């Protein structure tokens, strides 16, 4: 029975070998073998083999528990040592942990923001099959997109394209900002008053609390309310069957209450009435309800699960060509596309769309910036840990001598970094919870953070902290664990010269990031300011606008006269739109020499009243403005802007007969270009006519003195004409501020991030200079004794950092220039990138870092040399 | 001095009983017989490890055998400290069990 010994399990032997070595009890492995051998001889190999494995497997758990128990004892030691280290070097650890805390807090906020942005529309169950119909139309030589489709498109698409299961139209109340809704005593102006097809509830996931979504909108005078709105009007009562009066004209019966639409929906409304009501609310739209052109309705379609999307899109593209009985070619300019609803919030750049939306690029920008800020904090940690390595070198040496393996040491230093970052995470979480309201007001979001609903977010937080810990622990772990015990214990480890390169690189990296961020912040701020203060072609200050409604609209001329009685009211003019976005829709425009049918031309079109040009202090380039001294029929007189005149390319447009939306008239003047849309857009050709039917607003220019009394006067006048309606007024310049809200928010967010980035970077610089000054304590003492002056000593300590910061400037400028140039391309009107901005940002960083460093260097240079040399 | 656990007590007693023959295989077999089920090496060595650390048990001598392929056979013996611990444990047991026989725990039939 020889040879069994050779056949004893190899894998088992290897395992036992490891365990035995760990216990330093070689007899364990021997015992196993001995017993195996005996059993093999007595009862056969198979039995012995089975016994061996069964026994081994039963033993492993015991060994494992034992192993973990002793690990834990070691872990306690590591924990104790890291806590001791933290308390021993208080400044050093405070800098490390504070830096990490701020960096993490920035990152956490950005994570919350990004998460919120990405969550848009995700609550819809049909999301994958939901599409919005968007329009591509010619604009100059190119084409542009708008999110509106023709009124008849929804029905046509559903009936003629088999892939389309259902379609629905939606329109938020247009051409007036608010709608008056009354129930008994309660009356409010509502902004999110929508018109929609009943199918909207099939397409989108808007659950009902009461009422039936299938039948809720079947009656033309039914209305569906959101939970909040129902509570506002009816309190605890059951709203179903109650009547709401709208605009003092129409009665609607509440047939359904839906849950509030989540804030992260691109489609938002508080109340919805059947679509056909548009005819009575907005007569100017109503007459076009069955047309296949004139696009002003949001249209959504639900397609079959698994339908071939490219084929479907092809069919939709041909829709307009079919309606106009024209041949569809790939370069046909008027066509509809399908846009996935899940892309609407983040991927609708450059589309004419009145809803607020995000931008995927801002997500990238902010995520990237957040990572950069965190990186600065990590670099701090690495730099300070390695710089102070000589303090820890003896500990490392001792550990190695007593038998610590290099892996144990790497583990220890990783552990310390992770421990610090977890501490920082706890503090960062406190900061996040405490300043969430401030963050919400900064970003205009409504993020609520509670642990039960955001488990994944918190796991994300933890992951970020762990990654941060590993990142910042990586270099110290590798560097410190490589220290040779013999060298250390001989006392030879100080700051090695060669290692300085990496540290310098890291400092430069930090400052490249910080300076880049300062430059970007300044440019964003400049652009925001530029837009705020740019000459828009009219004077937006001291203009109050009021909604024209009911009797105010009917007796507009009398109201105007009454208002002008007050010496503080300079001028009054009616218009169809507020000047932040002053176009009704595209108007068909033809003139003498350019006849219809030649080419379809679409101009921006707006109706304004007498004195409009004067009220807004615009300038006429040619001809005259509308004048009530020369009475004409509505729409008979036409004013165009310079851009339109240039587009027409005729010698003298004034006096030409022209045709706007099939109404004949004469061009009486050319107005100097003014910005009638946000500054993201160029000034396009614009046609103005005078049609009191379309007036929706009264713009009142008031005298800057005594605004309060003037407003009182306006209120009094309005009340005498329209007693039943609450008086509401707005200032035009405020409306403009809202227009640039996203730029403002971005500018403020960036400001915060930059401040934090600089703070962390300077914290690191402070720590480093503190350390350098400490390690050159004696050198400075000796130099002083030998007669060095204080300034020269300050220079000695600061010089290195100053050089680094200058180097960082040189790297940061081109990067910031490139990035900001790209960003500014978004704006048709943009501020110029000046060298001054970059110089200033570099100078700022330089000053801040110099102050930080000199704080330490002055302290070191002015110290009494006796203190430092006493012990020698 | 901390009280011994049951396992430690059994191991110490076994080592004492086996005298010169107290090495891994023998100890394990003896205990397995005593308790009537398989006592694993895992249990044995993690306890032995502790006992060695507490200095109750000392490594006595070692022996090389061809069948063990280089892994030495280690003999254990009790240290004075171990003997003292056993003695205390014994006294403690006597005290605890004084005047009680196993028949005291039998369920009475009536």
Residue A303 is given by DSSP the state: E
φ and ψ of A265, to 5 deg: -115, 140
CA atoms within 13 A on the CB side of A550: 18
**Lowest pLDDT segment from A349-358, A542-551, A740-749:** A349-358
The shortest C-alpha distance from A422 to chain B (Å) reads 34
Judging contacts by C-beta atoms under 8 Å, the chain A residues touching residue B45 are 23, 25, 28, 59, 63
Q: Are A746 and A820 in contact (CB under 8 A)?
A: no
Beta bridge partners of A667: A638
CA distance A380 to A860: 22
- Which is nearest to A268 in space by CA: A357, A396, A340, A332? A357
The shortest C-alpha distance from A2 to chain B (Å) reads 11
CA of A38: which chain B residue's CA is closest?
Answer: B67
| CB proximity B71 to A under 8 Å | yes
At residue A257 the predicted structure's pLDDT band, cuts being 50, 70 and 90, is: very high
Judging contacts by C-beta atoms under 8 Å, the chain A residues touching residue B28 are 31, 35
CA atoms within 13 A on the CB side of A78: 20
- CB-count exposure of residue A266 (10 Å: 0-12, 13-18, 19+): buried
- A725's CB contacts (< 8 A; 6+ apart) are A180, A248, A549, A550, A718
Q: What percent of chain A has pLDDT over 90?
A: 4
- Which is nearest to A445 in space by CA: A8, A748, A126, A854? A748
Cβ count near A9 (within 10 Å): 16
Residue with tokens 């605004």, as numbered in its chain:
A707
Cβ count near A487 (within 10 Å): 12
The shortest C-alpha distance from A416 to chain B (Å) reads 29
CA atoms within 13 A on the CB side of A350: 11
At residue A223 the predicted structure's pLDDT band, cuts being 50, 70 and 90, is: very high
Q: Are A266 and A347 in contact (CB under 8 A)?
A: no
Among B40, B43, B72, the residue with its CB nearest the CB of A30 is: B72
CA distance A245 to A186: 10
Judge: B43–A27 Cβ closer than 8 Å, yes or no.
Answer: no
pLDDT digits (tens, 9 = 90+) for A811-848: 988 988 888 888 888 777 788 888 888 888 888 888 88
Which structure tokens are listed for A693?
A: 């039917």
**Beta strands at A602-607 and A585-591: parallel, antiparallel or unpaired:** antiparallel
- Which is nearest to A255 in space by CA: A270, A239, A269? A239
At residue A287 the predicted structure's pLDDT band, cuts being 50, 70 and 90, is: low
Q: Are A110 and A370 in contact (CB under 8 A)?
A: yes
- Which is nearest to A552 in space by CA: A718, A726, A724, A729? A718
CA distance A477 to A407: 9
The A-side interface with B (CB below 8 A) comprises 5, 20, 23, 25-35, 37-38, 55, 58-63, 65-66
The shortest C-alpha distance from B109 to chain A (Å) reads 41
φ and ψ of A318, to 5 deg: -80, -10
- The whole-number pLDDT of residue A430 equals 92
Judging contacts by C-beta atoms under 8 Å, the chain B residues touching residue A63 are 42, 45-46
- The whole-number pLDDT of residue A484 equals 79
3-state secondary structure A60-93: HHHHHHHHHHHHHHHHHHHHHHHHHHHHHCHHHH
- Grouping H, G, I as helix, E, B as strand and the rest as coil, residue A723 is coil
Judge: B24–A29 Cβ closer than 8 Å, yes or no.
Answer: no
Judge: B49–A35 Cβ closer than 8 Å, yes or no.
Answer: no
CA distance B80 to B103: 36
CA of B27: which chain A residue's CA is closest?
Answer: A31
CA distance A294 to A209: 36
pLDDT digits (tens, 9 = 90+) for A113-154: 888 888 888 888 888 889 998 888 776 566 778 788 888 888
CA distance A379 to A268: 44
Judge: B38–A58 Cβ closer than 8 Å, yes or no.
Answer: yes
Which structure tokens are listed for A764?
A: 């690191």
| CB proximity B38 to A under 8 Å | yes
Q: First and final CA of chain B: distance in angstroms?
A: 45
pLDDT digits (tens, 9 = 90+) for A398-439: 888 887 778 788 888 888 888 888 889 999 999 998 998 888
Give the residue with greater pLDDT, A349 vs A244. A244
* pLDDT beyond 80 at A392: no
φ and ψ of A235, to 5 deg: 60, -130
- Grouping H, G, I as helix, E, B as strand and the rest as coil, residue A606 is strand
> How many residues make up chain A in this entry?
872
pLDDT digits (tens, 9 = 90+) for A340-388: 888 888 887 666 555 566 778 788 888 888 888 888 888 888 888 777 7
**Beta strands at B57-63 and A335-340: parallel, antiparallel or unpaired:** unpaired
Judge: B42–A20 Cβ closer than 8 Å, yes or no.
Answer: no
Residue with tokens 């009547």, as numbered in its chain:
A243
Judge: A66–B43 Cβ closer than 8 Å, yes or no.
Answer: no
Q: Are A666 and A656 in contact (CB under 8 A)?
A: yes
How many angstroms from the chain centroid is the CA of residue A846?
30
- CB-count exposure of residue A723 (10 Å: 0-12, 13-18, 19+): exposed
Among B23, B45, B68, the residue with its CB nearest the CB of A33 is: B68
Residue A545 is given by DSSP the state: E
- The whole-number pLDDT of residue A860 equals 79
Choose the mutation target among B26, B40, B75 for the interface with A, i.e. most A CBs under 10 Å.
B40
- A447's CB contacts (< 8 A; 6+ apart) are A112, A113, A116, A436, A439, A440
Judging contacts by C-beta atoms under 8 Å, the chain B residues touching residue A29 are 68, 71
Q: What percent of chain A has pLDDT over 70?
A: 91
Judge: A34–B65 Cβ closer than 8 Å, yes or no.
Answer: yes
Judge: B73–A34 Cβ closer than 8 Å, yes or no.
Answer: yes
CA of B61: which chain A residue's CA is closest?
Answer: A27
The shortest C-alpha distance from A61 to chain B (Å) reads 8
* pLDDT beyond 80 at A694: no
Judge: A34–B68 Cβ closer than 8 Å, yes or no.
Answer: yes
- Grouping H, G, I as helix, E, B as strand and the rest as coil, residue A738 is helix
Among B24, B46, B74, the residue with its CB nearest the CB of A63 is: B46
Which structure tokens are listed for A724?
A: 């039943």
Q: Is the ipTM of this complex over 0.95?
A: no
pLDDT digits (tens, 9 = 90+) for A485-520: 777 777 655 555 555 787 788 888 888 888 888 888
A384-393, A462-471, A596-605, range with greatest mean pLDDT = A462-471
Give the pLDDT mean for A250-277: 88
Left, alpha or beta for A539 (phi > 0: left; psi -120 to 50: alpha)?
Answer: beta
- Which is nearest to A387 in space by CA: A763, A94, A801, A774? A774
* pLDDT beyond 60 at A3: no
- The whole-number pLDDT of residue A800 equals 80
Which structure tokens are listed for A860?
A: 């070191």
Judge: B71–A60 Cβ closer than 8 Å, yes or no.
Answer: no
pLDDT digits (tens, 9 = 90+) for A21-64: 666 666 777 788 888 888 888 888 888 888 888 888 888 777 77
Beta bridge partners of A132: A300, A339
* pLDDT beyond 60 at A597: no
- A252's CB contacts (< 8 A; 6+ apart) are A221, A222, A223, A243, A244, A245, A246, A273
At residue A224 the predicted structure's pLDDT band, cuts being 50, 70 and 90, is: very high
The shortest C-alpha distance from A41 to chain B (Å) reads 12
Give Cα separations from A502 to A413, A417, A473, A505 (angstroms).
19, 19, 15, 5
Judge: A59–B28 Cβ closer than 8 Å, yes or no.
Answer: no
Give the pLDDT mean for A203-229: 88
Instruction: Count Cβ neighbours within 10 Å for each residue of A148-178 and write b for 16 or more, e otherwise.
Output: bbbbbbbebbbeebebbbbbbbbbbbbbbbe
Judge: B71–A20 Cβ closer than 8 Å, yes or no.
Answer: yes
* pLDDT beyond 60 at A175: no
* pLDDT beyond 70 at A172: yes
- CB-count exposure of residue A478 (10 Å: 0-12, 13-18, 19+): middle
- The whole-number pLDDT of residue A865 equals 79
- Which is nearest to A251 in space by CA: A233, A277, A276? A277
- A633's CB contacts (< 8 A; 6+ apart) are none
* pLDDT beyond 50 at A315: yes
φ and ψ of A311, to 5 deg: -60, -45
Helix axes A360-387, A90-118, angle to 10 degrees: 160
Q: Are A28 and A20 in contact (CB under 8 A)?
A: yes
CA distance A561 to A557: 6
CA distance A465 to A472: 10
pLDDT digits (tens, 9 = 90+) for B11-29: 898 998 888 888 888 889 8
Beta bridge partners of A670: A622, A640
Among A23, A33, A61, the residue with its CB nearest the CB of B45 is: A23
> How many residues make up chain B in this entry?
110
Give the pLDDT mean for A209-216: 86
């Amino acid at each position: 029975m020889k040879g069994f010994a050779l056949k004893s399990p190899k894998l088992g032997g290897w395992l036992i070998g490891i365990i035995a070595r760990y216990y330093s009890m070689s007899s364990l492995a021997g015992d196993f073998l001995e017993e195996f051998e005996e059993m093999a001889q007595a009862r056969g190999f198979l039995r012995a083999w089975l016994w061996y494995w069964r026994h081994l497997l039963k033993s492993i758990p015991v060994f494992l528990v034992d192993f973990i128990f002793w690990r834990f004892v070691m872990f306690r030691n590591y924990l104790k040592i890291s806590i001791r280290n933290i308390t021993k070097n208080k400044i050093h650890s405070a800098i490390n942990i504070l830096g990490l805390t701020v960096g993490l807090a920035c990152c956490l906020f950005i994570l919350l923001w990004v998460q919120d942005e990405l969550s848009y529309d995700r609550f819809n169950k049909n999301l994958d099959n939901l599409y919005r119909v968007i329009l591509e139309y010619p604009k100059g030589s190119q084409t542009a997109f708008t999110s509106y489709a023709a009124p008849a498109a929804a029905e046509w698409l559903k009936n003629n394209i088999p892939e389309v299961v259902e379609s629905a139209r939606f329109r938020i109340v247009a051409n007036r900002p608010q709608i008056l809704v009354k129930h008994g005593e309660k009356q409010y102006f509502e902004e999110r008053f929508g018109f929609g097809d009943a199918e909207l509830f099939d397409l989108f996931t808007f659950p009902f609390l009461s009422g039936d979504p299938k039948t809720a909108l079947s009656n033309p005078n039914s209305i569906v309310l959101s939970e909040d709105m129902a509570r506002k009007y009816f309190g605890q009562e059951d709203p179903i069957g109650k009547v709401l009066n709208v605009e003092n004209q129409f009665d609607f019966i509440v047939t359904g209450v839906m849950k509030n639409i989540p804030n992260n929906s691109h489609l938002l409304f508080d109340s919805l009435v059947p679509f056909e009501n548009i005819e009575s609310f907005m007569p100017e739209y109503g007459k076009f309800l069955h047309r296949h052109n004139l696009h002003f309705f949001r249209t959504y379609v639900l397609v079959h699960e698994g339908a071939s999307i490219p084929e479907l899109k092809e069919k939709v593209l041909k829709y307009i060509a079919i309606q106009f009985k024209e041949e569809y070619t790939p370069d046909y300019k008027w066509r509809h596309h399908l846009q996935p609803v899940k892309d609407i919030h983040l991927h609708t750049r450059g589309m004419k769309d009145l809803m607020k939306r995000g931008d995927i690029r801002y997500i990238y920008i902010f995520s990237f910036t957040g990572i950069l800020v965190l990186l600065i904090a990590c670099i701090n940690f690495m730099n300070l840990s390695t710089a102070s390595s000589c303090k820890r070198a003896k500990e490392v040496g001792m550990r190695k001598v007593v038998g610590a393996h290099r892996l144990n040491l790497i583990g220890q230093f990783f552990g310390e970094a992770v421990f610090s970052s977890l501490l920082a995470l706890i503090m960062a979480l406190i900061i996040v919870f405490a300043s969430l309201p401030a963050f919400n007001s900064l970003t205009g979001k409504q993020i609520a953070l509670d642990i039960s609903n955001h488990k994944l977010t918190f796991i994300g937080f933890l992951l970020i902290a762990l990654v941060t810990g590993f990142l910042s622990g990586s270099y110290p772990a590798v560097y410190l664990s490589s220290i040779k015990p013999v060298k250390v214990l001989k006392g030879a480890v100080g700051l090695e010269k060669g290692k300085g390169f990496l540290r310098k690189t890291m400092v430069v990296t930090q400052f490249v990031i910080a300076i880049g961020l300062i430059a970007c912040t300044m440019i964003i701020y400049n652009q925001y300011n530029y837009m705020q203060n740019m000459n828009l072609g009219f004077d937006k200050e001291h203009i109050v606008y009021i909604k024209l409604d009911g009797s105010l609209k009917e007796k507009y001329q009398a109201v105007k006269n009454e208002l002008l009685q007050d010496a503080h009211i300079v001028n009054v003019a009616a218009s169809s739109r507020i000047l932040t976005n002053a176009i009704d829709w595209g108007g068909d425009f033809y003139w003498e020499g350019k006849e219809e049918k030649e080419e379809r031309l679409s101009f921006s079109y707006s109706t304004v009243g007498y004195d409009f040009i004067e009220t807004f202090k615009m300038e006429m380039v040619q001809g005259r403005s509308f004048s009530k001294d020369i009475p004409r029929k509505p729409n008979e007189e036409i004013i165009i802007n310079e851009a339109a005149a240039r587009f027409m390319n005729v010698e003298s447009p004034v006096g030409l007969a022209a045709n706007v939306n099939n109404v004949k008239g004469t061009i009486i003047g050319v107005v100097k270009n003014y910005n009638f849309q946000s500054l993201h857009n160029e000034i396009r050709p614009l046609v103005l006519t005078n049609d009191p039917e379309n007036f929706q607003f009264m713009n009142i220019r008031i005298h800057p003195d005594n605004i309060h009394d003037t407003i009182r006067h306006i209120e009094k006048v309005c009340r005498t004409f329209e007693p039943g309606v609450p008086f509401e007024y707005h200032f035009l310049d405020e409306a403009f501020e809202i227009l640039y809200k996203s730029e403002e928010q971005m500018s403020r967010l960036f400001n915060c991030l930059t401040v934090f980035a600089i703070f962390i970077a300077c914290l690191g610089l402070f720590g480093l200079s503190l350390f350098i000054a400490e390690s050159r304590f004696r050198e400075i003492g000796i130099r002083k004794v030998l007669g060095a002056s204080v300034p020269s000593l300050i220079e000695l300590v600061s010089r290195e950092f100053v050089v680094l910061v200058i180097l960082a400037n040189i790297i940061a400028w081109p990067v910031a220039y490139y990035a900001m140039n790209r960003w500014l391309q978004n704006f048709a009107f943009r501020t110029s990138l000046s060298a001054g901005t970059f110089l200033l940002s570099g100078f700022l960083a330089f000053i801040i870092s110099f102050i930080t460093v000199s704080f330490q260097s002055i302290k070191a240079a002015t110290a009494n040399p006796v203190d430092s040399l006493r012990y020698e | 001095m901390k009280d011994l656990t049951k396992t430690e007590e059994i191991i110490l007693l076994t080592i004492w009983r086996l005298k010169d023959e107290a090495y891994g295989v023998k100890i394990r077999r003896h205990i397995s017989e005593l308790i009537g089920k398989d006592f694993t090496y895992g249990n044995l060595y993690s306890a032995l490890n502790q006992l060695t650390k507490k200095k109750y048990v000392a490594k006595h001598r070692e022996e090389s055998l061809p069948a063990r392929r280089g892994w030495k056979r280690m003999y254990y013996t009790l240290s004075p400290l171990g003997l003292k611990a056993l003695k205390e444990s014994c006294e403690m047991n006597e005290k605890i069990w004084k005047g009680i026989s196993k028949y005291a725990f039998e369920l009475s039939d009536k």
